[in-house]
Each structure stands twice: as C-alpha cells, then as structure tokens.
C-alpha cells in the first residue's frame, strides 16, 4: 500500500497516482483544472466543527488525531476510508490538502490509518 501526503498547491507529479483531496473546502485561489483532483470524498474530511476547533488557538495535534479518528469511525466515513484503502492497494494514492503544515494535519492522520 502506498499513500503519501502533499499540498494541493504543489504541481502534480507523474507518480502521484490517484489524487484525493481530503479537505472539506476547495482550496483558495486554485483552479479545479490545475489541481488535477481525481476524487473528493467530503464525507472523509474533518467536520466543520473539528476543523474550526483545531485552527483556533493552535490546538494540540495529538488531540486532533484522536477526535478525527473518532469521526472516521462513523459508517459513512469508514466506508470512504475503505474505498481509499482499496485504491491504495492497487497503486499510489496521494492525499491532497491545503494545510500549511501537512505533517501535523488531518491528512497525515488519514495517511497513517491507511498505512496500518
């Protein structure tokens, strides 16, 4: 299984495989044709409440991880997570996020869950 995280603002690379946007909101200032997004499973993204909570006063990443994993246990999110896991079993999957620090974002939580 091969999953990686990249910023959606970076130019697409030939080895990206299936490009999956994992943000609930479309990235500011980015034209859809330039992003080359293959899938955008909004039910897999953090809830609006969680997203706002995390960006308020720079909350701890570990707490984000726990809260987001709890959201991913919901039936719709779990089904979408399995779908992306199946894509990764077939080849490269690149999770795309607009987060400034992808290593401490929800996209990294997803990547870890997919690699398990």
pTM: 0.93
Tens digits of residue pLDDT in 34-82: 899 999 999 999 999 998 898 777 788 899 999 999 999 999 999 999 9
Give 73's contacts (C-beta < 8 A, 6+ positions apart): none
CA distance 104 to 61: 6
Q: From the CB of residue 39, how many other CB atoms can be counted at a distance below 10 Å?
A: 16
In this prediction, what percent of the chain has a pLDDT beyond 70? 99
Q: Which residue has the tokens 């701890």?
A: 60
Q: From the CB of residue 87, how many other CB atoms can be counted at a distance below 10 Å?
A: 19
């Amino acid at each position: 299984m091969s999953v990686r995280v990249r910023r959606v603002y970076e130019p697409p690379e030939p080895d990206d495989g299936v490009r999956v946007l994992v943000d609930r909101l479309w990235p500011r200032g980015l034209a859809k044709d330039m992003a080359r997004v293959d899938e955008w499973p909004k039910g897999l993204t953090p809830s609006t409440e969680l997203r706002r909570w995390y960006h308020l006063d720079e909350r701890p990443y570990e707490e984000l991880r726990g809260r987001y994993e709890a959201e991913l246990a919901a039936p719709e999110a779990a089904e979408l997570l399995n779908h992306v896991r199946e894509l990764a079993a077939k080849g490269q999957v690149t999770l795309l996020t607009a987060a400034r620090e992808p290593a401490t974002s929800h996209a990294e939580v997803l990547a870890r869950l997919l690699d398990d």
